[in-house]
Structure formats: C-alpha cells, structure tokens
Amino acid sequence: MRRVLVTGGAGFIGAHLVRALAARGDATRVLDNFITGTPANLALALGLDHAAVERALAQRDGGVLRLTDRCEAVVGDIRDAAALAAACAGVEVVFHQAALRSVPRSMAHPLETNEVNATGTLQVLQQARAAGVRRVVSASSSAVYGDTELPKHEGQVPQPKSPYAASKLAGEAYCAVYSRGFDLPTVALRYFNVFGPWQDPASEYAAVIPKFILLALRGEPLPVHGDGMQSRDFTYVDNVVEANLLAAESEAAGVALNVGAGARYTLLDLIDHLQRILGRRLEIVYKPPRPGDVRHTQADITLAQRLIGYTPRVDFATGLRRMVESMREMEGVSVRDV
C-alpha cells in the first residue's frame, strides 16, 4: 500500500485523482483550503454522505482528519509550511493539484495567483523534500505556451500571456530545480482544458464546458467570447488522472509533459456537439473577446507517450456525453426528458 498526498484534492481534478487512488487501495491524504474545492467533491470521490463530510471538515482547522480507513484530510493552505509538513509526513508521492486556476481570475488578481501557484508550489517542493517524499507530480497548464504554433510541443519556447500562465511556468521551473538540484524527482504535467463530471459549472470563473452544459440544461443562451472559432484540445478528466498515475510510477524526472487528447474543437464545434447530444438548438450570445485567452490549443503528446506511456483513452465526444449525463443527474433532470 502506497501513502500519497493530493494537494487540491477537494477540487475537480484532485477529487477524480482521490477517487482513483482510493479505488486502487492507496492510503490517500488530501490537503485543501476549500477556496474552490468542496466537501461534496470529496464525498463523491469517496462514496460518502455529503453532509457528513461537511460536518467533519467544519470541526477541524489544521491537523489530520480521518474520512475513511484509507483517506485523510488536512484543511490548510499550501502556503502554510506547518500544514504542508503535517500533510507530507510519511508520504511517498505528492500529486500537487492545488492552484488558483482561471486566466481571467489571474488578470484581476495577479499577485495572489503568483503566491498560490508559484510560491505555493515552491513550498510544496520544499516540504516534500524535508519529509523525504520519493516523487512529486505537479499540475501545470497548456496556458504556458501562449500563442505558439500548433500542435504545441515541449520543445517550443513558452510565451505566457497571463499571470496564470506565468505562475504555472514558474511552478514548472521550481519542479525542475528540485529534480536537478535537490535530488527530488518531479514531473510537471501540462494539462490541456480538462473537463468532466464534478467540474464547477456556476462560479464566476467556471470553465466553458460545465458552464455551457448548465446553461443549456436550463434553457439559457450560451455566451461566446469573440467569434467562437477559438479552439481547444478538450481533455476528459480520466485521461488526466491516468497521466498522473503513470508519471508517479515512471522514471521521468525534471521534465514538463503535455497531457491532452491531441485533437482540437472550436467553441462552435462544442456547441454543435451539445446540440446533437441534447437534440435541440441552443441560443448563442456573442460577447467581446477576453484578454489573456490564447487563440488555439492542441497538444503533441508524443513525449508523454514515450516517457510515461500516456495514451488518452476517452475521446471528446464520449467524455462530453458522460458529462452531460452526470450534470443532468445533478440538476435533477430526468434522462427521459431528452
């Protein structure tokens, strides 16, 4: 049995990782400050009652809280050395997911984004090293590339366009430094627009797929920033979870690897797919383009294939159908209404 830590384990991707780790029997600890993560995500990941997790977490601030016989949680901040030290104790592998995720949020709050994503990552590495952790797998982002040529590959010089992108690039650089300079093997994974069940659809900084599905299910118009021809390599969350598990077992060190599906779809393609899944036309409202957004993303996944054996297993259309079904259940809409 491995002992692992998932920072940001109450977030969207972190909770899916916790689900996979718990399912394979790893002793899993979560460190999260619940700024965007939720007790509901942890409950879904562990098959527990939402209210019970919420009550248990509310009683604790700092210290380790047992959620199941295989899963513990620490309520705390990755910028807090003491919370991290408690979370890293006895751990073999750290899956570092905690971050402030959104590009628009970073344009509004660049310093906070840097503190959490860059300094926070440095603190995670520092405490992991002090605790004798064997390996750190850290979430980075395709945003680091900016508007470089397609498909994006790791040999390109990154051209970050937002404080978010710069902070993730800084996090990657610290990961490489701890690999090369401090003998702590690390892998940074550059996720390309991840989507799937449990993703927050309603916050100010919600990602486009959950936001569009929620609006579509409610019969409201979909806001498209710009002409809708911007494209993304939308990657189903199970593929990202698998890449993390593979990176943790690999010999790769000091590298950043693309984790995408290797295809790209425009926002108008996405709406087209949703119309087909839902069997009706969806109304669009066009809005001004958003500063900081890159125009296109598409991953070249050759290096991840070679170094960690990564192959995406769930394609865009399959993932989108699964996500609509999941959100329909959460919204309480009967599958027969479709």
Q: Does 34 help bind ligand NAD (rule: CB under 6 A)? A: yes
Mapped onto helix, strand or coil, the DSSP state of residue 214 is helix
Contacts of 127 (CB under 8 A, 6+ apart): 81, 84, 85, 87, 88
Under the binding rule (CB under 6 A), the answer on residue 33 touching ligand NAD is yes
Q: What is the CA radius of gyration of the chain?
A: 19
CA separation for the pair 128, 185 (Å, rounded)? 11
Note whether 191 binds ligand NAD by CB under 6 A.
Answer: yes
User: 194 with 15: CB under 8 angstroms?
Assistant: no
- The reply on whether position 175 binds ligand NAD by CB under 6 A is no
Exposed e or buried b per residue across 305-320, where buried means at least 16 C-beta atoms within 10 angstroms of its C-beta:
eebbebebebebeebb
Q: Do residues 191 and 240 touch, judged by C-beta distance below 8 A? A: yes
Q: What residue type is assigned to position 238 of the chain?
A: D
DSSP per-residue codes, 117-152 = IIIHHHHHHHHHHHTT-SEEEEEEEGGGG-SPPSSB
Using CB under 6 A as the binding rule, whether residue 193 contacts ligand NAD is answered as yes
Binding range to ligand NAD, per CB under 6 A, among 48-56, 73-81, 147-155, 288-296: 73-81
Considering only 12, 95, 212, 265, the residue that binds ligand NAD (CB under 6 A) is: 12
124 to 153, contacts with ligand NAD by CB under 6 A? 139, 141
> Quick one: which segment of 94-102, 286-294, 316-324, 330-338 binds ligand NAD (CB under 6 A)?
94-102
Q: Of the listed pieces 146-154, 188-196, 217-225, 266-274, which binds ligand NAD according to CB under 6 A?
A: 188-196
Q: Contacts with ligand NAD in 222-281 (CB under 6 A)?
A: none
Question: Any contact of residue 301 with ligand NAD (CB under 6 A)?
Answer: no
Q: How many residues does the chain have?
A: 338
Minimum CB distance to ligand NAD smaller for 37 or for 146: 37
Q: Least CB distance from residue 29 to ligand NAD, whole Å?
A: 13
**35 or 51: whose CB is closer to ligand NAD?**
35
Does position 198 bind ligand NAD by CB under 6 A? no
Residue 115 near residue 171 (C-beta atoms within 8 A): no
Distance CA 118, CA 170 (A): 6
Compare residues 98 and 257 and give the one whose CB is closer to ligand NAD.
98
Of 92-100, 178-186, 260-268, 309-317: span binding ligand NAD (CB under 6 A): 92-100
Which residue ranges make up the site for ligand NAD (CB under 6 A)?
Answer: 8, 10-14, 32-37, 77-79, 97-101, 116, 120, 139, 141, 191, 193-194, 207
